[in-house]
Each structure stands twice: as structure tokens, then as C-alpha cells.
């Protein structure tokens, strides 16, 4: 593909894609039981706290909760404006199309409207990105930004790479281009979450940004190493580890103990296929074909029932299965 961002697919990347996909599947199976308004609010608070604290905002989860609830908080006007912009942005996640360049300008305008005069516009100045001791990255000249962003979104629109990888590549490339005078980190993290959310809506309840904050130095180091190599591979590996840890943490914290955490989607798909072929097939027959014990199949069947995909008509001896797929 023309102007494809440079990166390599490593074994580490492939392993994380597989692991994350399996965790997300478990999350989806348990969705009706655990993804509540309370959990979504908790995730929103953690997400906003994490992404803002990375940029130096001092407000904690308690104060951000108070702002969400309309209470007064003792803080600088800038910090409160940053929180309000982030709250509005994440609450409006459904309105954005991650493939549209104009939407990222709209997102930046929402995020930074009380902070920057030129919110929602690309920078018109050349900038250097500073580290603890010195400038660590000279961003491309400002007159190149529109062209670079158009090229990046053209790739985003046409690539067939897995969303987990695509979102990480985009995140890195946005930070490299540094298209805005301020707010690039927040927008980069939001756009990665947006891509993941459009792939699997459960990411609306997984605070990836909070885990980035907990690993902030490694985050900057991964950006720096990728910049030195001229490709985003190290950053992709870092972000996939963060996403895996975030998914795993949310599952361990929120999925009821009685729900098995090792239900591979591949096996569920095989069970569905077997039932399609023979609605009278028994649990023991399925277990024998898939080479697992009957208790494992009973647990898998329970998950399919909870998800509303499968129903048993009649007794186990004389009845049959009914599938309810979309």
C-alpha cells in the first residue's frame, strides 16, 4: 500500500493479538452480567484520570468524579477545563468515524476548546517534543502536517491489518506527526480507544489509558525507541501488552468467579457448528469429538445459553438444541 507506515509483525505481536482476542471473547460472553452503567462510569473516570495525569493534570479519580456529578472542585481553571473537555469527548465517542480526517479535528476541538484558541486546527508552527533533559523528537514541519495526516487517514481507511495492530500503528504515527500545538497525546490515546471500541464495544468499559499512566515511563521509552528505529514495532508491542493487561485486569475484577475464564472462542464456534449439523447431538458426543471432558462442554453450553445463542428444547435424553444466531 502506498505510504504505509513502517512496522513489522513479530511473534510477540501475534501472541498478544491472540491472547487479547480470547480475553475480549470471554468479556463479551459475560457482557450482560457485568457491563453495567456503574462499570461504564467507573471506566470513564479511570480513563480520564489516566490520560490527563500523563499530561500533568493533578486531579485524581475522586475530584474527576465530582466534576462529572456537577460538584464544585478546588483546582486551577485549566485543569478543570481539561477534565470537562475529556469528559465530553469520551461521552461522545459514538459520534466519531475513526476513518475520517475531519472527525479527528472535531475531536480535538471538543477536547481543547476551553484551552486553545486554535482548537480543532492543525498547528502552524514547527515544534520539538521535549523529554526530561532535552528535545527528543523534532516533529515534521508544520506545512507538511496536512499532507501527512491525509496520508495517514488514507492508510487507516484502506488497511486490512487487525484493529489491535492498526490502532497502535496509528497512535504512534499521530505522536510522530504531532499535528496539533497541544493535546496530541490525549488525542492519540483517544483515537486508539475509538478504533478498538468500533471493533469491539466492550472497549468502552476497559480503561486502557489508566494502564498507560501506570506505565508512563515505558510508554515514552517505547515512543522514543520506535522513533530511533524509524518504525512503530516496539510501540505496537508495548501497547498490546498494555491492552492485554487492561483486559485481564478488568476480567479479574468484574467477571463473576463462577464464569470460566478459559473458554476459547474457537471451541464455542465448533460446538455451534456441531449443533447445526445435528441438533440431537449429546454433550458426551460433543466432548468426544472435541477431545475434552463433558464438564468443559457443559460450561461452554452454559456460556452459549447466557449469550442467548443456544436453547435446549425437551429433556437431555429426548430433546434437541435450538440455535438463535444473528
Q: Which fold has domain 265-323?
A: Arc Repressor Mutant, subunit A (1.10.10)
Q: For 272-293, how does the pLDDT look when each residue is reduced to its tens digit (9 = 90+)?
A: 889 888 988 888 888 888 877 7
Going from the first residue of the chain to its last (326 residues), give the mean pLDDT of each consecutive group of 10, the final group possibly shorter.
Answer: 85 95 83 71 93 95 94 94 96 97 98 95 84 64 96 96 98 96 96 97 92 93 94 97 91 59 72 89 86 80 83 80 76
Domain extents in the chain: 11-254, 265-323
Q: Which of 213, 198, 211, 223 is nearest to 247 (CA)?
A: 211
**Do residues 50 and 61 touch, judged by C-beta distance below 8 A?**
no
Task: Say how many C-beta atoms besides its own lie within 10 A of residue 8's C-beta.
Answer: 12
Burial class (CB in 10 A: 0-12, 13-18, 19+), 118: middle
**Which long-range contacts (C-beta less than 8 Å, at least 24 apart) are formed by 78-86?**
78/115, 79/52, 81/114, 81/115, 82/52, 82/55, 82/57, 82/115, 83/48, 83/52, 83/57, 83/59, 84/114, 85/110, 85/111, 85/112, 85/113, 85/114, 85/115, 86/48, 86/51, 86/52, 86/111, 86/186
- For the chain, where are the E strands, in sequence order? 128-130, 135-138, 310-313, 320-323
What is the structure's pLDDT at 259? 46
46: region left, alpha or beta (phi > 0 left; psi from -120 to 50 alpha): alpha
Identify the pLDDT of residue 6.
96
Rounded CA gap, 29 and 20, in Å? Answer: 14
111 touches 85 (CB < 8 A)? yes
pLDDT digits (tens, 9 = 90+) for 41-81: 889 999 999 999 999 999 999 999 999 999 999 999 999 99
Look at residue 135 in the predicted model and tell me its pLDDT. 55
Return the CATH fold of 11-254.
Answer: Fic-like fold (1.10.3290)
The sign of the CA dihedral 165, 170, 171, 173 is: positive
Give residues with Cβ within 8 angstroms of 127, minimum separation 6.
Answer: 139, 142, 178, 181
Residue 28, number of CB atoms within 10 A of its CB: 15
pLDDT value of residue 1? 44
Amino acid at each position: 500500500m502506498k505510504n504505509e507506515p513502517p512496522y513489522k509483525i513479530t511473534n510477540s505481536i501475534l501472541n498478544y493479538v491472540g491472547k487479547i482476542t480470547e480475553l475480549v471473547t470471554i468479556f463479551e460472553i459475560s457482557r450482560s452480567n457485568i457491563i453495567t452503567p456503574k462499570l461504564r462510569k467507573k471506566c470513564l473516570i479511570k480513563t480520564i484520570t489516566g490520560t490527563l495525569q500523563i499530561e500533568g493534570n493533578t486531579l485524581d479519580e475522586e475530584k474527576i468524579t465530582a466534576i462529572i456529578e456537577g460538584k464544585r472542585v478546588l483546582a486551577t481553571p485549566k485543569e478543570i477545563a481539561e477534565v470537562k473537555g475529556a469528559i465530553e469527548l469520551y461521552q461522545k465517542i459514538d459520534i466519531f468515524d475513526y476513518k475520517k480526517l475531519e472527525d479527528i479535528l472535531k475531536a480535538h476541538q471538543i477536547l481543547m476548546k476551553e484551552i486553545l484558541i486554535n482548537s480543532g486546527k492543525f498547528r502552524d508552527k514547527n515544534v520539538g517534543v521535549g523529554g526530561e533533559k532535552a528535545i527528543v523528537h523534532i516533529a515534521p514541519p508544520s506545512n507538511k502536517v496536512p499532507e501527512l495526516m491525509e496520508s495517514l487517514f488514507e492508510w487507516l481507511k484502506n488497511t486490512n491489518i487487525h484493529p489491535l495492530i492498526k490502532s497502535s500503528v496509528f497512535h504512534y504515527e499521530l505522536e510522530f506527526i504531532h499535528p496539533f500545538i497541544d493535546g496530541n497525546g490525549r488525542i492519540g490515546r483517544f483515537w486508539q480507544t475509538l478504533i478498538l471500541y468500533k471493533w469491539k464495544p466492550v472497549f468502552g468499559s476497559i480503561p486502557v489509558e489508566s494502564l498507560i499512566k501506570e506505565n508512563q515511563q515505558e510508554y515514552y521509552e517505547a515512543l522514543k525507541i520506535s522513533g530511533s528505529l524509524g518504525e512503530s514495532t516496539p510501540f505496537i508491542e508495548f501497547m498490546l501488552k498494555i491492552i492485554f493487561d487492561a483486559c485481564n485486569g478488568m476480567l479479574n475484577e468484574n467477571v463473576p468467579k463462577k464464569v470460566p475464564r478459559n473458554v476459547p472462542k474457537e471451541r464455542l464456534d465448533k460446538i455451534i457448528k456441531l449443533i447445526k449439523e445435528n441438533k440431537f447431538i449429546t454433550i458426551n458426543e460433543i466432548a468426544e469429538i472435541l477431545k475434552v471432558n463433558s464438564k468443559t462442554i457443559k460450561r461452554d453450553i452454559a456460556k452459549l445459553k447466557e449469550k442467548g445463542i443456544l436453547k435446549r428444547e425437551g429433556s437431555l435424553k429426548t430433546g434437541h438444541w435450538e440455535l438463535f444466531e444473528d
